[in-house]
Each structure stands twice: as C-alpha cells, then as structure tokens.
Chains A and B, each alone.
Chain A
Amino acid sequence: MIEDIALHVLAYKWDGLFTPFSIIFTVPAESHYLVDITPKEGWVYFLLRFGGYTTGTDVTLDVSYKGRKVMDTIDNFPDVNTYFHLPNIFSNIFDTTVTFDFSNSGTDSALVCFHGVVLAFEEAKARKFLEDIKALAEIPKDIKETNRLLGELNDILKGIIGRL
C-alpha cells in the first residue's frame, strides 16, 4: 500500500497536479444526468477519490470508461462525508473521458453534490510516475531499487521542507 506521503512526493517529482472538484446539480425525477471528466490534450489523470451526497433516496451511480463499467453500480448514493475509492486507482490511468451516470429513479427531483480529486500528469511523466509507484509497491521483490527510490524521495522531501 502506498502511503499518502509517498504518493504526494512522487506526484511532486513528476510534476503531477492535484485538482479537487465539487459540483452541485439537480437530477430530475426518473432521469439520467451524466458527468464527464475529460483530460486536456497531452494530459492523463488518475481519479484518487470521489464521493458526495444526495437529497434523493433513489439515486444510483455507474462509472464507465471507454464503454465499460470500472466498478459495480453504486446503489443509493451515499450520505455526506462518505467517500468511495476506485479499486486499484493506479491501474486506472485515464487518457480520455470517464462518465459518471447519475440515475434518479424516484418520482421527485434530487439534488446531488459530487466531489473528488484528480491527479493529472503530462502523458510521458505519468508513465514514469507509475514506474515509481510500482517500485514502491513491490518492496519485497526489489529491495535495492526500493531503497534507492526511498532515498530519492527523502531528498525531495528535504528540499520541500527546506523551502518552507
């Protein structure tokens, strides 16, 4: 498991940009609302986390990428402060649109708040970032490479702290 601090330092190393988003919209009764997240040209992204809440009791959410669902349907979109994490976030590097399909099967409209955090990279740097992530995640397999990487992360951290 990659610790948050390592994730942030590696993102810093490869010029990753963390961007939170938060949107509020009303889904009419018995209707779909789609939220598309599309990277700009030359960029790719990871979806670190997303969540939200709704005033409705019959709102479900499907997340799809290139026509395939990336996780099981989320039934009854959760209450505030509940976050969902995409399974294996680092196996999902998105280079085109991810669609979030909010479906309100209730007979009343429902207010939805949807929020999350995107970590975006220039395409080539995302691959380098992933290589580092894998090296850290495979500590027992290659301790020498992992130690080198941890030393490098430590130096980056020292540099960051030195500038504070």
Chain B
Amino acid sequence: MADDTIEMGGKTYKPGDVIREIDRGTFKIRIIYGGKIKKKE
C-alpha cells in the first residue's frame, strides 16, 4: 500500500477518491479522502 493511501471497510482510497456521496435534492455532498498532511520542512 502506498504511503498516501488508506484502507477503510476493505477498500483502499487514494487522495481525491470519493468515500461517500449524498444527494440532498438541491445540492449534493461528497466526502473525499484528502491525503496525508504534508509535514513542513
């Protein structure tokens, strides 16, 4: 597994992957894995 991926519920997510999408009629909500926090040099 690459450093910047996570595993949840048997699935592997990389940054930018949509974890969940919710339709609320006039708008939609997406929950997205954003990746690891970049450490400051």
Residue A25 is within 8 A (CB to CB) of chain B in the complex: yes
A-B contact count (CB 8 A): 75
The DSSP consensus for interface residues of chain A is strand
Which candidate, A16-24, A79-87, A130-138, is the interface stretch facing chain B? Answer: A16-24
The answer to whether A10 has its CB under 8 Å from any CB of chain B is: no
Decide if A105 is an interface residue (CB 8 Å cutoff). Answer: yes
Helix, strand, loop or mixed for chain B's interface? strand
Within 8 Å CB of B15, what residues of A?
Answer: 32
Please report the C-alpha to C-alpha distance between residue A82 and residue B27 in the assembled complex, in whole angstroms.
Answer: 24
A19-B24, A21-B22, A118-B24 given; A31·B35 CB < 8 A? yes
Whether the pair A19, B36 counts as a contact (CB closer than 8 A) is no
Interface size counted on chain B using CB atoms at 8 A: 19
Other-chain contact of A32, B24, B25, B27, B37 (Cβ < 8 Å): B37
Contact with A along B12-28 (1 / 0, CB 8 A): 00010001101011111
List residues of A (11-43) whose CB comes within 8 Å of B's CBs. 17, 19, 21, 23, 25, 28, 30-40, 43
Please give, as numbers and ranges, the residues of chain B lying within 8 Å of A39 by CB-CB distance: 26-27
Assess the A30–B37 pair: CB atoms within 8 A. Answer: yes
User: Which residue of the partner chain, among B6, B27, B31, contacts A28 with CB atoms under 8 Å?
Assistant: B6
Given A31-B34, A37-B27, A23-B19 contact (CB < 8 Å): no
Q: A17 — which chain B residues lie within 8 A by C-beta?
A: 25-26
Q: Which 6 A-B pairs have the closest CB atoms?
A: A32-B34, A120-B26, A34-B32, A36-B30, A34-B34, A43-B26
Residues of chain A touching chain B, judged by Cβ–Cβ distance below 8 Å, are 17, 19, 21, 23, 25, 28, 30-40, 43, 45, 101, 103-105, 118, 120
